[in-house]
Amino acid sequence: MDALLDEVFDPEGPCSSTHAVVVVHRGRLVAERYAGALEHFNREPEPIGADTPLLSWSMAKSMVQAVTYQLIEAGHLELHAPAPVPSWSDPGDPRGAITLADLLAMRDGLDFAEDYVDDRSSDVIEMLFGSGKADVAHYAESRPLKHAPGSHYSYSSGTTNIVSAICARVLGPGDPYRAHLDQHLFGPLHMTSARAGFDDAGTFIGSSFVHATARDYAKFGLCYLRGGQFNGTQVVPLAAVEAARTPLSTDPDGPLYSSHWWMPGDEHGTFSCNGYEGQVISVSPALDLIVVRLGRTPIERAEHLVDWRQRVIGAFAQSTGALEG
């Protein structure tokens, strides 16, 4: 791992700025490194270390999936029923046919531009930082249909926030939702650093905003690696893990997409939480392996980071095979 860590932390290398890497193999922390500093307004930069909470970006989507399946298992939501979105309830509204399963698979058919560069045409930027930021779900729910529900895959942060608002209506917005995260997800996983970001309407902005340490992100991955269990407790329903590991669509950029998780399609059954600029929790069941990487890799260099992750996983596959042989 030393050479691989040197490579990904090289500020002049193709992966650019890496802040943290944590690797857990067979339940044990086997590699860990930190670099850089967080910038703060009117404060000195903060050195990044094991106790530094770092931004998830879209890795948070997989946490929304976990909460959704908790509510399904509790009988509060139905996966294949029309999604309970009040603004779609008019009998003449074609969006009323969108199911919760469609939303989790990013096959809702809504017209939503997931563009992180051009703010003139980007719905995600407008939702998170513009006119939609006070009520992100309302912004996303207001988008018209572009395709028939269930017929077309299109990755959308707006979709996740619609799902999160559905959860908020079950749990109660704001503090009750935050309490559920703390008591039924972060708490049982001992993710003591994890903090979810909420909008003014009380919706967890699950498309983008969780802060946690690299070790705590690894615990979330370990839970899914262990079939939803952590320290002998079933925290996330097994159905959520099975859905995360079942590919449903192929993204235009190449990887497979399941239920708010990604799948590179390798021989190890790897599935992952992915976030903007290269945040990732890779879960490789065949290798009993978790790889967490946090940092800032520009999108034009993303292929280098994907290659690096594949080589890390490949190194463990090779060493595991040699040991077992």
Report the alpha-carbon distance of residue 257 to residue 234 in Å, rounded.
24
Strand order, beta sheet including 289-296: 28-34, 17-25, 289-296, 279-284, 271-275, 262-263, 256-257, 249-250
pLDDT tens-digit series, residues 33-62: 999 888 877 788 889 999 999 999 999 999
Tally of CB atoms within 10 A around 252: 9
Tell me how crowded residue 216 is: count the other CB atoms within 10 A of its CB. 21
Radius of gyration (Cα) for the chain, nearest Å?
Answer: 19
Q: Which residues of 65-89 are buried (b: 16+ CB within 10 A; e: fewer)?
A: bbbbbbbbeeeebebeebbebeebe
Which element (helix H / strand E) includes 309?
helix 302-324
Strand (E) or helix (H) holding 250: strand 249-250
* 306/319 Cα distance (integer angstroms): 20
- 3-state SS class at 161: helix
- Measured between alpha carbons, how far is 139 from 111 in angstroms, rounded to an integer? 12
Residue range 214-230, pLDDT digits in tens? 999 999 999 999 999 99
Question: What is the rounded CA–CA span in Å between residue 166 and residue 137?
Answer: 9
pLDDT in tens, 75-126: 999 999 999 999 999 999 999 999 999 999 999 999 999 988 766 779 999 9
Which DSSP symbol is given to 48?
A: P
Q: Compute how many other C-beta atoms are within 10 angstroms of the C-beta atom of residue 93.
A: 13
pLDDT score at 36: 87
pLDDT band at 304 (very low <50, low <70, confident <90, very high): very high
Using one digit for the tens of pLDDT, what is the confidence trace for 146-156? 999 999 999 99
